[in-house]
Amino acid sequence: MATKIYQVDAFTNIAFKGNPAAVCLLDEPRNDAWMQSVAGEMNLSETAFLSPQEDGYSLRWFTPLDEVDLCGHATLASAHVLWELGLLGGRETARFFTKSGLLTAEKKDEWIEMNFPSEPPVALDAPMYLLEGLGLDAGSVRYVGKNRMDYLVEVDRTELLEALQPNWSVLERVATRGIIVTSAVTERINLPGVCQVESRVEPQASFDFISRAFFPKIGVPEDPVTGSAHSCLGPYWAAKFNKSEMLAYQASKRGGVIRVAMQGERVLLGGQAVTVLRGELS
């Protein structure tokens, strides 16, 4: 039996926006080398591999270069495929057993809400190469912190974030999975691309914060929309804004919208998804 594979644009309701992920439904056990080869062949920021097991699915994520511990957009894409194929009923909860523990997703009308671990950053001094690789001077940076996966850098205005042109050879020296750069949105602004909110085209939606995310060390220079980054951004901005529910935009060229809600030690991440390709692996 041929192995089914799907390509899904996540954190968007319009094809060719958001973040593309491949979702591979395994009908038999496959070794790590095979999965890494498939991820290299798909050449997307992540390829998800789903295997049915008791009470849910085993879920693993691979970039073109390596396996990662947590990925939001490929989890969203995986849940979307399971509901689209009828492998889960509309009221069923998707349960994924991963390297970051049990992750769940629920269908909320046209949106999918994922339950992720909160990954707050801890403040520290900017390490060597970080600001240099981002092309930032210390005067424009309001905060530098780090969680178990990534650095987080807050800059003082959205225009600076949108204009970033990182030096990849320098950023590759930074010893983390990636670097998240963020800024508060203090007024209604036009952002690159089309923003989709509540299934409407809404080019001037009222966002709480925006971000960009860079992962050159694992073969993804700029990730279009990064769900796992919002496990860090959620608790960070919730504390600064003193609010538990927020609307976020990742300001990459493709762009994407994420609903973020704090729930104790967990972060609820909401997004939409569109299947753009269906195929089989030979």
Q: Which residues are catalytic?
A: 46
Distance (Å, rounded) from C-alpha 194 to C-alpha 278? 25
Q: Do the Cβ atoms of 72 and 54 come closer than 8 Å? A: no
Burial class (CB in 10 A: 0-12, 13-18, 19+), 239: exposed
SS3 annotation, the chain: CCEEEEEEEECCCCCCCCEEEEEEECCCCCCHHHHHHHHHHHCCCCEEEEEEECCEEEEEEECCCCEECCCHHHHHHHHHHHHHCCCCCCCCCEEEEECCEEEEEEEECCEEEEEEECCCCEECCCCCCHHHHHCCCHHHEEEEEECCCEEEEEECCHHHHHCCCCCHHHHCCCCCCEEEEEEECCCCCCCCCCCEECCEECCCCCCCEEEEEEEHHHCEEEECCCCCCHHHHHHHHHHHHCCCEEEEEECCCCCEEEEEEEECCEEEEEECEEEEEEEEEC
User: Is the backbone of residue 239 left (phi > 0), alpha (psi -120 to 50) or beta?
Assistant: alpha
